[in-house]
Amino acid sequence: MATVQVSEAEKVYVMHGVRDDLRVDGRGCEDYRHMEIETDVVSNTDGSAKVSLGHTDILVGIKAEIGKPRPMVPDEGYLEFFVDCSANATPEFEGRGGEELGVELSNTLYKVFNNRHSLDLRSLCICPGEHCWVLYVDVLLLQCDGNLFDAMSIAIKAALFNTRIPKVHISEDEEGVKEIELSDDPYDCMRLNVENVPCIVTLCKIAHRHVVDATLQEKACSVASLLISVTHKGMVTCVRKLGRGSLDPDSIFEMTETGKRVGKALHAPLMELLQKEESLGKKRQKVGFLA
């Protein structure tokens, strides 16, 4: 991942700032940077969103395809994640350079969504045991400026909110041969309930305190971070520790509490924003990538 070189003096400066709840860019320890969200940016996906957090830029596209349900859960659909680290983000990703990070990110996403609460997978079932919707969630890193996880989870939530899956129904003829029929009205589609989709809050331990939404510079001053995925009700679906350093139990507990608080606070304005954007309908001027 993109890293910056930080001198000892800078480190001390950053750490002292955090201690006083005043970070280099003027934020408090629990503040996010300026965030921009736009949905429906890629027309040939079923749902898409672009999120920029500071200079971190992430595009998420969701494609719905018909597949076979997993044998253990015949009445559920499933999600597939793929994270592509574009060489646009940083030259280090060139060739296969981004692969390791991409796998790590997508594995984390599998863990975050690996529970019954975040998304109603049953609604993705078309015909138990035979057909279900598979949502391919493709994440593209366009620019890295720290805190990829949080930005990614917000973009995924926004993209899932934006996803419209064409309505299908199964017709059966006399011989019992089932056939999928598609409505010819493009407006006839299914929406997903994204209320419980978690957001990831990454907390970065700097000296004795922890900060959310760490910049690259701040990250360089920290030895370990804690990743918490939180639903809007404050339920934690996944916790991971990142980085080489260790965390003592007390501070883990403290960080979890902060994560829950920040996460809950993050969901409400996000949903509000998404609803507001949708209510603009077709009149909304699309910004896209030219912003």
Binding segment (CB under 8 A) for another protein, from list 21-29, 57-65, 256-264, 265-273: 57-65
Binding segment (CB under 8 A) for another protein, from list 81-89, 167-175, 209-217, 270-278: 167-175
> Smallest gap, in angstroms, from Cβ of residue 150 to another protein?
29
Q: Which of 1, 18, 51, 64 binds another protein (CB under 8 A)?
A: 64
> Smallest gap, in angstroms, from Cβ of residue 132 to another protein?
12
Tell me if 187 contacts another protein by CB under 8 A: yes
Tell me if 285 contacts another protein by CB under 8 A: no
CB distance 86 to 289 below 8 Å: no
Identify any residues that bridge with 125 across adjacent strands, giving them in sequence order.
132
Tell me if 185 contacts another protein by CB under 8 A: yes
> Smallest gap, in angstroms, from Cβ of residue 180 to another protein?
6
Q: Which of 26, 34, 96, 184 binds another protein (CB under 8 A)?
A: 184
Q: Which of 5, 7, 9, 179 binds another protein (CB under 8 A)?
A: 179
> Smallest gap, in angstroms, from Cβ of residue 77 to another protein?
13
Contacts of 195 (CB under 8 A, 6+ apart): 232, 271
Among 162, 211, 212, 218, which Cα is nearest to 190's?
A: 162
Q: Which of 39, 45, 147, 215 binds another protein (CB under 8 A)?
A: 45
Tell me if 186 contacts another protein by CB under 8 A: yes
- Token pair for 88: 């646009």
Tell me if 280 contacts another protein by CB under 8 A: no
Stretch 218-237 residues interacting with another protein (CB under 8 A): none
Tell me if 168 contacts another protein by CB under 8 A: yes
Burial zone of 100 (CB within 10 Å; 0-12 exposed, 13-18 middle, 19+ buried): exposed
Tell me if 60 contacts another protein by CB under 8 A: no
Tell me if 8 contacts another protein by CB under 8 A: no
Other CB atoms closer than 10 Å to residue 272's CB: what's the count? 10
Q: Which is nearer to another protein, 64 or 274 (CB)?
A: 64
Tell me if 170 contacts another protein by CB under 8 A: no
> Smallest gap, in angstroms, from Cβ of residue 183 to another protein?
8
Q: Which is nearer to another protein, 35 or 168 (CB)?
A: 168
Tell me if 65 contacts another protein by CB under 8 A: yes
Number of residues that bind another protein (CB under 8 A): 21
- How large is the angle between the packed helices 249-279 and 148-162, nearest 10 degrees? 40
Q: Which residues bind another protein (CB under 8 A)?
A: 43-46, 63-66, 166, 168, 173-175, 177, 179-180, 182, 184-187
